[in-house]
């Protein structure tokens, strides 16, 4: 196959036989977020490049290596969003929402674009669900946001996953910490990768998040930020832990988590799965008390998280979790002859208006081929319409699983179909209970 007939490297199609899984997962996300008062925000897929430079940070992997940046025809530098927090905060400031009722709680689902080396769990187009809780400085806000992430995961069937938390302090505690890091890494400077050599002066904490194996090994023995927290940051972190414990949320403190984006302060956290190989972080988040003022808004303490939906799907697959099945047709109406075709269109219109999923032949197939399609497509019931059925105002519908037939009056089809579907669902339920 020639290159232009293939999806671009690092991108995936979501085909019709798997989209229902995504729909289910996304529905759970939005509904769970609603339980905590979060409503959806939709922001553009691209922004002025500056939006990401100012928020994500110019010493991060994302900005240094991964952004899809181009000049548009008007000569503006545009970037496809590598994440959604930056655009969300830009929008919240631009639309004056930071000056309205706080906390402002928003959530989002959308595509993100990063020029990365494609591998399992690492794509160039991927999707995130995330939340931002804007204008809440108290540590119970941190616990609430973490609890929401936890509940989203369990609502889609993921309970086997661990939560790791850390505090990376505020700009005050970082001063001392940066000094200690610089000292430590300076003594290892020859072994650091070139990117990290450059980071040493500008932002030594970024070295802790480097993916190169040698830098990782050196970083593992670096001073940890928890030892440098000021009193306020330390007590904030203690409270977060107390609230999480009160909510029955298990966690472990991992002093090595710093997160890959520059805007975090104080609490940072990750949900990590042991079931999907090297790309094991399914959800990352934390507090970003300085971001909104850094982006031109008023000082507003805030926090949020983002989860990678493709990685979640991998966890579900590898943990062999069953997701709800796609909805197939309730009724397939097969037709014999022109009158039946007209009648089928009439009945389909009535039934679909009442919320049934109905299909009929639109390919001009013979009866046998129509029935074959009905079977293959997984229709629950089928009906054959011909001149006799129309004349008698009666037709048999057949349960495609059990083969059982029931006669329905065509002039009152909706009510009867509703009864038949319900009673067959009850039968199936009873059978499942007996078999269990
Ligand atoms: P990683 O350390 O794996 O590169 P990150 O720190 O860059 O992750 P974030 O920017 O915090 O990740 O994004 C939040 C979540 O989005 C990640 O935990 C992950 O689930 C998902 N994610 C990030 N990059 C990708 C990618 N290239 N492909 C698929 N999912 C991704
Ligand atoms: Mg990354």
- Ligand 1, atom 19: closest residue by C-alpha: 308
The two three-digit tokens of residue 383, written as one number: 């009906």
Report d(CA 156, CA 159) in Å as an integer: 9
Q: How far is the CA of 62 from the centre of ligand 2 (A)?
A: 7
**Ligand that comes closest to the CA of residue 284:** 1
179-192 per-position pLDDT tens digit: 999 999 999 999 99
Contact 184, 224 (CB under 8 A): no
pLDDT over threshold 90, residue 322: no
Identify the band that residue 267 occupies on the pLDDT scale cut at 50, 70 and 90.
Answer: very high
CA dihedral 273, 275, 281, 283 (to 10 degrees): -60
Q: Which residues belong to CATH 3.30.930.10 in the chain?
A: 3-172+230-318
Quick one: average pLDDT of 97-103? 96
The CATH homologous superfamily of the domain defined by 3-172+230-318: Bira Bifunctional Protein; Domain 2 (3.30.930.10)
The two three-digit tokens of residue 5, written as one number: 């007939």
* Cis peptide bond prior to 103, omega within 30° of 0: yes
- Ligand 1, atom 6: closest residue by C-alpha: 260
Residues near ligand 1 (Cβ within 6 A) = 83, 114, 116, 121-123, 126, 128, 260-261, 279, 281-284, 306-308, 310-311
Q: From 158, 273, 311, 315, give the residue whose CB has the most ligand 1 atoms within 8 Å, as the site to mutate.
A: 311
Contact 46, 90 (CB under 8 A): no
Identify the band that residue 274 occupies on the pLDDT scale cut at 50, 70 and 90.
Answer: very high
Quick one: average pLDDT of 416-421? 94
**Ligand that comes closest to the CA of residue 85:** 1
- pLDDT at position 385 is 98
Chain centroid to CA 84 = 12
- pLDDT at position 361 is 98
- pLDDT at position 58 is 85
Contact 161, 153 (CB under 8 A): yes
- pLDDT at position 162 is 97
- pLDDT at position 98 is 97
Q: Could you tell me the strand order of the sheet in which 69-71 lies?
A: 46-48, 77-80, 69-71
- CA distances to 107, 179, 334 from 28, rounded to whole Å, are 13, 45, 36
CATH of domain 331-417: 3.40.50.800
Contact 399, 378 (CB under 8 A): no
- pLDDT at position 435 is 76
**Ligand that comes closest to the CA of residue 259:** 1
Contact 278, 213 (CB under 8 A): no
The two three-digit tokens of residue 187, written as one number: 């003594």
**Ligand that comes closest to the CA of residue 121:** 1
Contact 431, 413 (CB under 8 A): no
Report d(CA 155, CA 69) in Å as an integer: 36
Ligand 1 atom with minimal separation from the 279 CA: 3
The verdict on pTM exceeding 0.75 is yes
343-377 per-position pLDDT tens digit: 999 999 999 999 999 999 999 999 999 999 999 99
Ligand 1 atom with minimal separation from the 306 CA: 14
Ion ligand 2: residue ranges with CB closer than 5 A: 260
- pLDDT at position 2 is 79
Position of tokens 């349960």?
399
Contact 175, 230 (CB under 8 A): no
Q: How far is the CA of 308 from the centre of ligand 1 (A)?
A: 6
- pLDDT at position 60 is 87
What is the SS3 assignment for 57?
coil
* Secondary structure (H, E, C), 277-341: CCCCEEEEEEECCCHHHHCCCCCCCEEEEEEEHHHHHHHHHHCCCCCCCCCCCCEEEEECCHHHH
Contact 95, 17 (CB under 8 A): no
CB atoms within 10 A of CB 253: 12
106-147 per-position pLDDT tens digit: 999 999 999 999 999 999 999 999 999 999 999 999 999 999
- Ligand 1, atom 20: closest residue by C-alpha: 308
Q: How far is the CA of 369 from the centre of ligand 1 (A)?
A: 47
CB atoms within 10 A of CB 413: 22
Chain centroid to CA 381 = 35
pLDDT over threshold 90, residue 1: no
What is the SS3 assignment for 104?
strand
- Ligand 1, atom 10: closest residue by C-alpha: 260
């Amino acid at each position: 196959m020639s290159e232009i007939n293939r999806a671009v490297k690092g991108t995936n199609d979501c085909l019709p036989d798997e989209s229902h899984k995504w729909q289910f997962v996304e529905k759970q996300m939005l509904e769970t977020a609603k339980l905590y008062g979060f409503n959806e925000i939709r922001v553009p897929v691209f922004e002025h490049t500056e939006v990401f430079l100012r928020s994500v940070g110019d010493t991060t992997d994302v900005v240094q290596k991964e952004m899809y940046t181009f000049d548009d025809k008007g000569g503006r530098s545009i970037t496809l969003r590598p994440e959604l927090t930056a655009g969300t905060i830009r929008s919240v400031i631009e639309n004056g929402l930071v000056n309205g009722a706080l906390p402002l709680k928003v959530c989002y689902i959308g595509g993100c674009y990063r020029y990365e080396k494609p591998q399992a769990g690492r794509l160039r187009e991927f999707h995130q669900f995330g939340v931002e809780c804007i204008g809440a400085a108290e540590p119970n806000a941190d616990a609430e946001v973490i609890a929401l992430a936890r509940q989203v995961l369990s609502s889609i069937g993921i309970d086997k996953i661990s939560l790791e938390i850390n505090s990376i302090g505020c700009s005050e505690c970082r001063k001392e910490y940066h000094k200690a890091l610089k000292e430590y890494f300076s003594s290892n400077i020859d072994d650091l990768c070139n990117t990290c050599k450059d980071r040493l002066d500008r932002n030594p904490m970024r070295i802790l998040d480097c993916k190169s194996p040698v830098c990782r090994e050196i970083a593992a023995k670096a001073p940890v930020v928890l030892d440098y927290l000021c009193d306020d940051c330390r007590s904030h972190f203690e409270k977060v832990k107390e609230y999480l414990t009160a909510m029955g949320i298990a966690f472990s403190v991992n002093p090595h988590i710093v997160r890959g984006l520059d805007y975090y302060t104080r609490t940072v956290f990750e949900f990590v799965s042991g079931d999907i190989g090297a790309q094991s972080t399914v959800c990352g988040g934390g507090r970003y008390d300085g971001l909104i003022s850094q982006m031109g808004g008023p000082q507003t303490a805030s926090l949020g998280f983002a989860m990678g939906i493709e990685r979640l799907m991998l966890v579900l697959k590898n943990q062999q979790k069953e997701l709800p099945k796609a909805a197939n047709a309730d009724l397939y109406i097969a037709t014999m002859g022109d009158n039946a075709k007209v009648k089928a269109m009439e009945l389909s219109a009535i039934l679909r208006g009442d919320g049934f999923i109905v299909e009929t032949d639109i390919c001009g197939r013979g009866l046998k081929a129509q029935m074959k399609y009905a079977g293959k497509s997984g229709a629950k019931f089928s009906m054959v319409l011909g001149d006799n059925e129309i004349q008698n105002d009666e037709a048999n519908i057949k349960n495609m699983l059990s083969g059982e037939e029931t006669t329905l009056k065509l002039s009152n089809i909706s009510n009867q179909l509703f009864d038949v579907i319900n009673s067959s669902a009850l039968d199936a339920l009873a059978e499942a209970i007996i078999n269990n």
